[in-house]
Amino acid sequence: MSTYILKRFLQLIPVFLGATLLVYFLVFSLPGDPIVALFGDKPVNVAVAAKLREQYHLDQPFWMQYLLYLKSIFTFDLGQDFSGRPIATVLGEVFPVTARLAIMALIFEGVFGIVFGLIAGLRKGKLFDATVLIASLIVIAIPIFVLGFLLQFTIGVQLGWAKPTVSSAATIPDLILPAIVLGLGSFAYVLRLTRTSVIENMNADYVRTATAKGLSRFQVVRVHILRNSLIPVITFLGADLGALMGGAIVTEGIFNVPGVGNRLYRAVLSGEGPTVVSIVTVLVLIYCLSNLLVDLLYGWLDPRIRYDS
């Protein structure tokens, strides 16, 4: 087991190098000169521009820039963004906000998706099932920014149940509405996945065995159907954590959440290579780790795929 985890950690090394190189190259290839863009409408001061280029290594060739960036990572000095603040500080500000948002979204989609999916699966073909299926289809079909603005306007502005935008502290009550918007798309997938999986397991032979033992309907569902049905759902949820963290850009934009997405968007626009690469690298690592977690959970839930063999 521990060798398995160690192996998986070693696999992170090429993933890390590949991801940083790729993202660095993409940012490098962006058209336009970021230093010129910094001056905005004002005339470019050649001396200042040259100094800035040197500071951000923009006068170096691509390979040199990348190697210098790698060096800065391993010396724990990520450098500064264009406004002069240490990138490490920036990461420390934005990641907790987005992590909070993503975990809230995950809890929302997990709890509601599994509960609704379970009920729909157990009542296959009934009114509840049909309603939930159509509703989930609608949610999947509508783009997230439409849903976001819709909920922001009705619940935030018209009904006043929640604040339409998030304060700079981004507290948990502030984030409830954005988390729901962020989790809605995945909620529909979790629901459908749970439903399919429950229906499949309801017809399994061991469920018939469980009924023939004399277990009540509730016991059969709780002990024999639910756990077996959750195996694919857990896999999806784990992989989705990474996707939620990186995919929060639109939602964060709508609700003005001071998180990763917002900062990344600004960094891409202004061509701040080191900031972009730093954020993306952390996202990649989170993605890899959540996948590792899923694989371990998988083995725990399903003894057939334990790693001891």
Q: Which of 215, 243, 250, 296 binds other proteins (CB under 8 A)?
A: 215
Angle among Cα 189, 195, 200 to the nearest 5 degrees reads 130
Q: Which of 209, 222, 269, 307 binds other proteins (CB under 8 A)?
A: 209
Secondary structure string (H, E, C) spanning 186-244: HHHHHHHHHHHHHHHHHCCHHHHHHHHHCCCHHHHHHHHHHHHHHHHHHHHHHHHHHHH
Q: Are 240 and 113 in contact (CB under 8 A)?
A: no
- 265 contact partners, CB below 8 Å, separation of at least 6: 249, 253
Task: Give yes or no for residue 214 binding other proteins (CB under 8 A).
Answer: yes
Q: Which of 59, 227, 269, 307 binds other proteins (CB under 8 A)?
A: 227
Smaller CB distance to other proteins: residue 52 or 207? Answer: 207
Q: Which of 47, 212, 218, 308 binds other proteins (CB under 8 A)?
A: 212
Q: Which of 136, 228, 262, 281 binds other proteins (CB under 8 A)?
A: 228
Q: Which of 9, 62, 161, 206 binds other proteins (CB under 8 A)?
A: 206
Least distance to other proteins, CB of residue 301, Å: 7
Q: 241: how many CB neighbours lie within 10 A of its CB?
A: 22
Number of H helices, E strands in the chain: 14, 0
Q: Which of 51, 85, 126, 208 binds other proteins (CB under 8 A)?
A: 208
Task: Give yes or no for residue 303 binding other proteins (CB under 8 A).
Answer: yes
Q: Which of 72, 211, 235, 291 binds other proteins (CB under 8 A)?
A: 211
What 3-state DSSP class applies to 61?
coil
Smaller CB distance to other proteins: residue 26 or 122? Answer: 122
Q: 4: how many CB neighbours lie within 10 A of its CB?
A: 15
Question: Cα–Cα distance between 153 and 254 in angstroms, integer?
Answer: 11
Task: Give yes or no for residue 51 binding other proteins (CB under 8 A).
Answer: no
Task: Give yes or no for residue 210 binding other proteins (CB under 8 A).
Answer: yes
**Phi and psi at residue 214, in whole multiples of 5°?**
105, 10
Kindly indicate which of the ranges 23-31, 83-91, 145-153, 213-221 contains the residues binding other proteins, using the contact rule CB under 8 A: 213-221
Positions in the binding site for other proteins (CB under 8 A) = 204-206, 208-217, 223-224, 227-228, 301-304
